Structure formats: C-alpha cells, structure tokens
Amino acid sequence: MPDHVMNLTVNGRKVKRPLGENYRLLDFLREELHLTGAKEGCGAGECGTCSVFVDGKLVKSCLMPTLKADGATIETVEGLAPLDSLTEVQRAFHKTGASQCGYCIPGMVMAATAALRENPEADFEEIKERLGGNICRCTGYAKIFEAVEIARDVIAGRLPQTALEPDAAAESFIGASVRRIDAPSKVTGRLKYAGDMIMPDMLHMQVLRSPHAHARIVSIDTSEAEALEGVACVITAADVPGEDGFGVFVHDQPIMARGKVRHVGEAVAAVSAESVEIARRALGLIKVEYEELPAVFDPEEAMRPGAPVIHDYAPDNLVKHIPIRKGDVEAGFAEADLIVENTYSTQQIEHAYLEPEAGLAYVDPDGVVTIHSPSQNITHHRHMLAKIINRPINKVRFIMSPVGGGFGGKEDMIYQGMLALAAMKSGRPVRLVFTREESIIASAKRHPARITYRMGLKSDGRITAVSFRMISDGGAYGMSTEGVMRKAAILAFGPYEVPNLKVDTYGIYTNNTPSGAFRSFGAMQTQFATESHLDLCAEKLGLDPFEIRRRNMMKIGSTTHTGQMLETCSMEEVLRVAEEFCRWERGAPTSRGATRSDLGGPDTRKPCTLGARFKMPEAEESKQEVA
C-alpha cells in the first residue's frame, strides 16, 4: 500500500504523491505535502486542530484514512488566501486578538470559514454551535466568536472593510486594543511549532513508558529493538554521560527511569528510527523486567511511618514543608466567639494545551547540542542539560519554539534530555512528538490538595486566629512542588488580615503522576478553601458574605502574614465593583434560596444548548425562566 499513488487537488494544485506510511489524511498533508497548518491536537477527532475541507465539506483530517480522500479536492488553511493577503475571517481573528498561543487557530479559522460558507447569516448561537467541534484553551472563545461575527458582517456588507483595520493608535498602550504582531503567522497556519519542523535525515523518536506505578527495573534488553531495520539507536538511562537529574528546585528526576520507575508513564527507553511506525514496532521489542514495589497514592498515607519510600534521599516522602507563623494562634482561638473547622479538597488537573509536547534536537557542526522545544524555561533547562550530558554550557543550546499553550505545563524538562541523548548517539536530527495520550500520562498536573481550615471569629465577623494545613500530592518527582508550596503558604489566607496565624503547606511524594506548575501556582487551591470557608463562617454568623470580607480585608498600611507592608491595596474597590456588578442581594447566605433576585438577568450567561439551526428561539427563552 505505501507505493499507492495518491491523486489529489490540494489548494488548487494537482498533487500526485505516494501514500508512504501516511495512513491518515492529516499525516499525508503534514508529512508528505508539508502543509503543517493542520495540526494534531488529539488524534481522536475531539479538538479540531486538523480541520480541512475535503470536496467542499469541512472534516477532521485525523479521522480520515488517507485513501478515502484519493481523487478529492482538498483545501487547507494555507489555501484560503493568496500568500500576501488574508481572508475576512483571518483579518477579523487578527483584529479581535482571537489568536493567542495560535495552535487551535488554523482549525478555528477553518471552522469559522465553514460556518459562514454554510450559512453566511449564521447568528451568534449558530456560530457557537458550528464551532463546537474545535477546542481553544487560551481565549475562552469570546474573541473568536466576536471575530466570526465581524467577518460575517463585513462579508455581508453590513460593516465596512475598515472594521477589520486596527484601532487608531492611542496615546497609551494601556487600555488600548493593540493587535498581536504574530497573529498573521498563526491565522494562516504558517507558523511552525516544534512538531511541524523537519530537518534532512531526521529520525523519529518513540518512548517506552512504565506500566507500573512503582517498580524496580531488574533489566532492560534493547538488543532486538536495536537490530530492527530502520532503527538508528535506542537510549536508556545508561546512555547519560554526566550527572543525571533535573527539576525546577530539587534535581530528583532522571532523563529516563534509573534503577526504578516511580509513576505510570515514566520514560524507560526511547527508540529513534526512520519512521514513527518503525520506532513503535521497535518499542515492542524492548524487554524490561520489573520487580513491582509497594506503591502509595495518597499523600497522607505517604506521610505515615512505614509508608513506601519513593526517593532514597527523602525517607519521609517530604518534598517540601513551608511553615509560616504570626502572633499567638492559641490566644487568638481563646478569644474567639466561634471556631469553624472544615476540610477542602481539590483535584488533579491537566493543562490540556492544544499543542502536545514536541521537540527537535541535533548536534550542530560545531558540536553544539541544540534542542528546539516549546519549553517555558529554556535557560534553566540549558544549565541542567549541560551537567546531564557533561558538556560545557557553550555546547548546549535551547531554542524556544512557539508554545502552543503552556500554562506552566511546559516548564519541566521531561523529554528534551532524551532528544539530546538520541541526537548525540545517532549523529542525526531527532524529532519527538507526543500523542495527546502521552501528554496526559507523562506531563505534570496541578497539585491535588487537602486543606484543613480552622478559623476563630468574633461574633461581628472579625477573624482572631487561623490555622491552615495543606497536604499536597506532589506525585513521583519534585518538579515545581517547592515553589507551589511557597506560593500556597504566602497566599494561603488571601487578601485578608489576621493577627494570629499558623500556616503549614506540605508537598509530598507519591507514586502518582508528578504535580508541577499550573497557572496560579498554588493560589487556586488555597483560594478555593479560603473563600469557601469565609462563606461558611458568614452563614454561621448570619453575616453578608461581602460584609465578612470587608471586616477582614487588607487595606493600605496592612501587613501581610509574611511581613510585607502594603503601600497600595485595591481589595475594597474590588469588593465594591464585584458586589455592584453582580447586583448582589444583601443578606446572610441563609436568608436566600430559589427566590433570590440576583440570579439570571440580561447579562448572565444562558445554559448551553444545541439546535440553534432548528429550534424555535422563543421556546428556549421561556424555558430558562427561573421558577
């Protein structure tokens, strides 16, 4: 089948090419025709980064066997407009700032184009529905939908072409809408992310991952894999020439599992071969003998004496404990009229950036080990890798490729080391592109946390003492845990002032997927607990939730629990605006129920529904009445 010749018309040009190993239309477009505007965000038809027109209908090219498209007419994002111009849709995306990381954007532009081709008069609800198969993680969709509506009205002549022009330059950039200079490269699909890059003689890497949460590696036999035709090299921890270990704070993580695996999905070996298919076949030929070890999945269990030890250097499984003390907590509780205690838990969360991890490494003619990847921390990675591969720093180069969404999840050097080793061992460029499944199994997550709150209050709502204990699941490696624990401790009590406080945050090793950086970095977990707890206290004291916050909020001149005197503070203003904006109905939480007057209203978001194309709108409206 690989020698079957595909005959297609692509972006107006006849194309006659062998199928090769490009089994899906997406692979054929990207690998054979180098049309990399269509991306692979999930490979399962969920995300829409791969949308292309086939015979005039928009489809997900990751779901289409290549041969289904034999003889078809294909239009990709690269073919929407001539090289030096943009369509109305593309210009509108530029105008509104709809492209941020840009990875979903070629697919979004295609879906928007399809929506307006199918119905040039599509209203807001229908646009939303027609774009429903495409996911964006940066924008919250508002700017995308705004762009499609502007494009629709310009195409229909209801808005002038100038509606697509940038806003007139203002005196200041602050408060002005400034267009992103990188948007044209994103809306046209021209921008090359790491997984879009190719080099002559490039190899493809695939990674063998641990099926066990905690196991000793008895032996790894790569001989059969290495003997497979088309395989250039297989690497394991044994190939690391220097001092193995990386991490944002503690360098506890080897490039690949060394001696034992500590979580499911940990890299054990990696194959570089002439094609992804050969590399995958070779993975099946690697024999790893494991001896399973008792594993621990709950951080509180991991803290108990006798729990399985995950790292020898940390016999108590402690990554980091951050204590903060202020005033006399016991005296504060003694003074309280009411003490409220509760425990809050938050879950592990995946960043789910649309661009799965990818990288391309080579050793340049001067012997410089060079790695392109969407790393969020290239300088730190460079220093760590130099030690790991035992080369001077001027022989290690990190180039940051466009980041197709990071949100903190691309701070950890979980694959760049493998690429460097393989490029050094094979002498050839090596590319690795994670699948979505691999990205989810191997990348860091938001720390799941269990927070025990104890708060003492006077009956007027003033807080006299706080005890805050947070146990966080750091997973198998340290990564950013220390920083997250520090930030969580600093932000533990939010924007409130209390005379007596005791904060303890603990990051604990377990055999779960490692936890790492995630936007807000420890604050999300603590704010969830703090704000929920304040609502609970307001209820018990019969106070308005805004009022209890006002009585305890920081002001100019307040001192935080880490000893910082505030010279500016906007908390009062924030509360005032929030209260006004949500048309807050005053009173204790207990005083309201289904009859509260601040639910619904003209500027509230309606529940999601489908069927904008055939439902009677008035029926929908009346259904949303609040009884």
CA–CA separation, 330 and 534 (whole Å): 20
* Minimum distance from residue 67 beta carbon to another protein (Å): 4
Q: Would you count residue 62 as binding another protein (CB under 8 A)?
A: yes
Name, in order, each residue with C-beta under 8 angstroms of 32's C-beta and a sequence gap of 6 or more: 17, 18, 20, 22
Nearest distance, CB of residue 40 and another protein, angstroms: 11
Pick between residue 67 and residue 309 the one whose CB is nearest to another protein: 67
Does 313 sit near another protein (CB under 8 A)?
A: no
Contacts of 332 (CB under 8 A, 6+ apart): 456, 464, 465, 466, 498, 499, 500
Binding mask 264-303 for another protein (x = CB under 8 A): ------------xx--x-----------------------
Q: Which one of 30, 39, 60, 262 is in contact with another protein (CB under 8 A)?
A: 60
59 binds another protein (CB under 8 A): yes
Interacting stretch for another protein, rule CB under 8 A, among 38-46, 343-351, 496-504, 537-545?
Answer: 38-46
Identity of the amino acid at 315:
P
172 touching another protein, by CB under 8 A: no
- Please report how close the Cβ of residue 542 comes to another protein at its closest, in angstroms: 29
Instruction: With both helix axes pointing from N to C terminus, report the angle between 571-581 and 545-552 in degrees, rounded to the nearest 10.
Output: 170
Q: 402, 469, 474, 403: which is closest to 248 by C-alpha?
A: 474
Could you tell me what percentage of the chain is helix, strand and coil, using 3-state DSSP and rounding each to the nearest 5? Answer: 30, 20, 45
Q: How far is the CB of 114 from another protein (least distance, A)?
A: 7
Number of helices (H) and strands (E) in the chain: give both, helices first.
18, 20
Rounded least distance, CB 348 to another protein, Å: 17
We find the least distance from the C-beta atom of residue 57 to another protein, in angstroms, to be 4
The answer to the question of residue 542 lying near another protein (CB under 8 A) is no
Take residue 360 and report the two structure tokens written for it. Answer: 């391309």
Stretches 187-195, 322-330, 560-568, 609-617: which one binds another protein (CB under 8 A)? Answer: 609-617
Asked if 334 is part of the footprint of another protein (rule: CB under 8 A), the reply reads no
Report the distance separating Cα 28 and Cα 35, nearest Å: 9
Q: Residue 203: enclosing H or E segment and its boundaries?
A: strand 203-209
Tokens read off for 198 = 């190719």
Q: List the x/- string, 441-460, binding to another protein by CB under 8 A.
A: x-------------------
Here the tokens at position 75 are 């239009």
Q: Is the dihedral of CA 520, 521, 525, 526 positive or negative?
A: negative
Q: Among residue numbers 113 through 152, which ones bind another protein (CB under 8 A)?
A: 114, 118, 129-130, 132-134
Subset of 509-538 contacting another protein (CB under 8 A): none
Task: DSSP for 313-375, please give it.
Answer: T-TT-EEEEEEEEES-HHHHHHH-SEEEEEEEEE--B----SS--EEEEEE-TTS-EEEEE--
Q: Binding to another protein (CB under 8 A): which residues in 382-441?
A: 435, 437-438, 441
Both structure tokens of 596: 């509260």
Rule CB under 8 A: say whether 619 interacts with another protein. Answer: yes
Contact 503, 465 (CB under 8 A): no
Q: Which residue among 63, 81, 536, 575 contacts another protein (CB under 8 A)? A: 63
Nearest approach, Cβ of 627 to another protein (angstroms)? 4
Report which of 517, 383, 507 is spatially closest to residue 443, judged by C-alpha positions: 517
Nearer to another protein, 103 or 434 (CB): 434
Q: Among 16-24, 167-175, 470-478, 564-572, which window interacts with another protein (CB under 8 A)?
A: 16-24
SS3 category, 559: strand
Judged by CB under 8 A, the number of residues near another protein is 48
Which residues are near another protein by CB under 8 A?
Answer: 1, 4, 21, 23-24, 43-46, 48, 51, 57-60, 62-65, 67-68, 70, 111, 114, 118, 129-130, 132-134, 276-277, 280, 435, 437-438, 441, 608, 610-611, 613-614, 616, 619, 622-623, 625, 627
